[in-house]
């Protein structure tokens, strides 16, 4: 008898775990709602709020239903125990038959409750998958599929805490597509969106796996560079700059080209996450002020050019004058004529007269 009664209590214990998981799920969705509300544009907040509230209401109704089943099962269990006690006190009733009947009813009630628990587990898994989708969406930019600003803030806070503890180098890079408003005005916003996606992929391909590239907003990107000094960050930025400048971006059969400007700063004593990003942004502004398509680094209290290798201007050959070109061609012809005469056994000086 004690074994059967102990077995009868197992579904209640399992249900307790399930209800606890439901409570955690509800709390996660509530936290997600506040997080999405703080990072979402005002126009989409109302729609997102309705989605989250519908999920919360569904979980609430489901939790209430399962809790009712638990209460009903416990009440049934108490009635069966009372019958057993009465059977033991009433000598006219066969205790074994009463016990067998009670155990049968307990097992039947357990089967029904177990089915309800299985349904609860399935529903909980479905809600968890849906919540995981919302969490991914809340931290991902829909156009470029890069992490978004909220993800950047969270990752930078974690990296910055590590930097404060271990003092391993940490740099932040800000990247902006040059003259992008003019690009959109010329080619259209659909072309702009297509190029944004391709630029994002180009930047990602130029970085290490440990680097965190995010879409910061609009045509601006940000990169968290772990274990990277400002000098190495300048080299990484230069690689990205040249990768974008050399890339032919395609849209509806047309080849479109853009360039980027980059600013890099390294975490220093006294910095916060905000001041680190601010200094990288100041370096970006200096790059744009210097003519764009270049890299600037924020080093201490000064801003300096940080490109690796020759600048685009240095790569452009100086134009040749038409007079110099004509003279060079005439000299080549004279040398060739002289060589032919020597091969023919004639005196070049005498024949030229």
Q: Counting beta carbons within 10 angstroms of the beta carbon of residue 284, is it exposed (0 to 12), middle (13 to 18) or buried (19 or more)?
A: buried
Q: Is the Cβ–Cβ distance between 73 and 113 less than 8 Å?
A: yes
Alpha carbons within 13 angstroms on the beta-carbon side of residue 287 total 34
Q: Is the Cβ–Cβ distance between 268 and 253 less than 8 Å?
A: no
Q: Is the Cβ–Cβ distance between 212 and 257 less than 8 Å?
A: no
Q: Compute how many other C-beta atoms are within 10 angstroms of the C-beta atom of residue 334.
A: 12
Of 4, 88, 121, 219, which one is the catalytic site residue?
219
Strand 295-299 to 302-305 pairing = antiparallel
Identify which of 127, 109, 10, 8 has the alpha carbon closest to the alpha carbon of residue 63.
127
Tokens coding 174: 């800000």
Identify which of 54, 52, 60, 24 has the alpha carbon closest to the alpha carbon of residue 36.
52
Question: How far apart, in whole angstroms, are the C-alpha atoms of residue 100 and residue 3?
Answer: 13
Q: H-type helices in the chain, by residue range?
A: 2-39, 42-89, 95-138, 149-166, 180-187, 189-206, 230-245, 273-289, 312-315, 322-343, 348-352
From the CA atom positions of the chain, what is the Rg in Å?
Answer: 37
Residues contacting 351, CB < 8 A, separation 6+: 341
Tokens coding 278: 């601010």
Residues 95-127: b if buried by 16+ CB within 10 A, e if exposed: eeebbeebbebbeebbeebeebbeebeebbeeb
Tokens coding 92: 């006219």
Question: How far apart, in whole angstroms, are the C-alpha atoms of residue 119 and residue 115?
Answer: 6
In the residue annotation, 101 being an active-site residue is answered as no
Tokens coding 29: 């969705």
Length of the chain: 353
Active-site amino acid positions: 219
């Amino acid at each position: 008898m004690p074994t059967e009664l102990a077995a009868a209590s197992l579904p209640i214990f399992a249900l307790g775990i399930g209800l606890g998981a439901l409570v955690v799920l509800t709390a996660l969705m509530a936290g997600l709602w506040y997080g999405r509300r703080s990072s979402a544009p005002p126009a989409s907040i109302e729609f997102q709020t309705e989605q989250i509230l519908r999920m919360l209401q569904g979980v609430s109704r489901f939790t209430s239903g399962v809790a009712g089943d638990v209460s009903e099962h416990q009440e049934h269990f108490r009635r069966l125990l009372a019958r057993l006690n009465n059977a033991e006190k009433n000598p006219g009733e066969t205790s074994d038959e009463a016990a067998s009947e009670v155990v049968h009813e307990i097992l039947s009630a357990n089967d029904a409750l177990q089915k309800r628990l299985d349904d609860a587990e399935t529903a909980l898994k479905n809600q968890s998958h849906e919540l995981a989708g919302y969490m991914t969406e809340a931290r991902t930019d829909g156009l470029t599929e890069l992490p978004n600003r909220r993800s950047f803030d969270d990752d930078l806070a974690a990296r910055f805490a590590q930097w404060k503890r271990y003092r391993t180098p940490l740099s932040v890079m800000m990247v902006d597509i040059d003259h992008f408003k003019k690009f959109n005005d010329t080619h259209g916003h659909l072309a702009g969106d297509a190029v944004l996606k391709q630029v994002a992929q180009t930047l990602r391909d130029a970085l290490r796996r440990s680097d965190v590239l995010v879409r910061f907003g609009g045509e601006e990107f940000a990169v968290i560079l772990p274990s990277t000094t400002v000098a190495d960050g300048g080299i990484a930025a230069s690689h990205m700059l040249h990768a974008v400048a050399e890339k032919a971006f395609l849209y509806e059969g047309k080849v479109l080209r853009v360039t980027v400007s980059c600013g890099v700063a390294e975490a220093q004593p006294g910095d916060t996450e905000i001041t680190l990003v601010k200094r990288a942004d100041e370096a970006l502004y200096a790059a744009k002020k210097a003519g764009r398509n270049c890299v600037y680094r924020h080093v201490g209290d000064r801003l300096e050019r940080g490109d690796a290798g020759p600048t685009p201007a240095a790569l452009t050959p100086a134009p040749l004058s038409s007079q110099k070109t004509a003279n060079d061609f005439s000299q080549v012809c004279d040398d060739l004529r002289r060589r032919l005469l020597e091969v023919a056994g004639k005196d070049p000086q005498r024949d030229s007269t």
